[in-house]
Amino acid sequence: MAEVGRVSIRLPSNIKQGDVIRVRSLVIHPMELVQRDKQGNLIQKSYNFIHAMLVSYNGKEVMRVETTQAVSQNPIFTFPLKVERPGKLTVTFSDTTGKTYEGNAEIKFS
């Protein structure tokens, strides 16, 4: 398995000022599921899954997402972003163990 916590961000190859682009971000993570026994009782275990994603563009928060354990292993998140100027895009994921994983991409106009 690839390195847990590695974040990759994919941007379109041609970006112009004012475009609404499609950003795709992947985080390598096992996304352990909450499980129950036959009686419906929670099986005690230290569950580990991504529960939050924060997106910032040029230092300003543009999106915050909360997830549940129902998201698949190595999740990919796709979202629109309107780009008004070149700059840094940062996507940060947080898991239930308190770890954070961050990826960055430079937005450049063509």
CATH number (domain holding residue 73): 2.60.40.10
Query: What pairs with residue 83 in β-bridges?
Result: none
Specify if 30 maps to a domain.
no
Question: Would 5 be classed as within a structural domain?
Answer: no
Distance CA 100, CA 6 (A): 10
Q: Is the model's pLDDT at 13 over the cut of 70? A: yes
| Residue 93 is assigned to a structural domain of this protein | yes
Average confidence (pLDDT) over 12-24:
97
Q: With beta carbons less than 8 A apart as the criterion, state whether 26 and 101 touch.
A: no
pLDDT of residue 82: 97
Given a cut of 70, whether residue 1 has pLDDT beyond it is no
Return the pLDDT at 2.
65
The pLDDT tens digits for 77-105 are 999 999 999 999 999 999 999 999 999 99
Residue 33 included in any domain: no
The CA-based dihedral angle spanning residues 95, 101, 6, 46, taken in that order and rounded to the nearest 10 degrees: -20
Q: Are 35 and 50 in contact (CB under 8 A)?
A: no
Q: Kindly give the pairing relationship between strand 20-27 and strand 7-10.
A: antiparallel
Q: Which domain holds residue 78?
A: 14-25+49-110
DSSP designation for 18: T
100 located within any domain = yes
Please indicate, yes or no, if residue 69 is contained in any of the structural domains.
Answer: yes
For the segment 23-76, what is each residue's pLDDT rounded down to a tens digit? 999 999 988 877 788 998 878 777 889 999 999 999 999 999 999 877 889 999
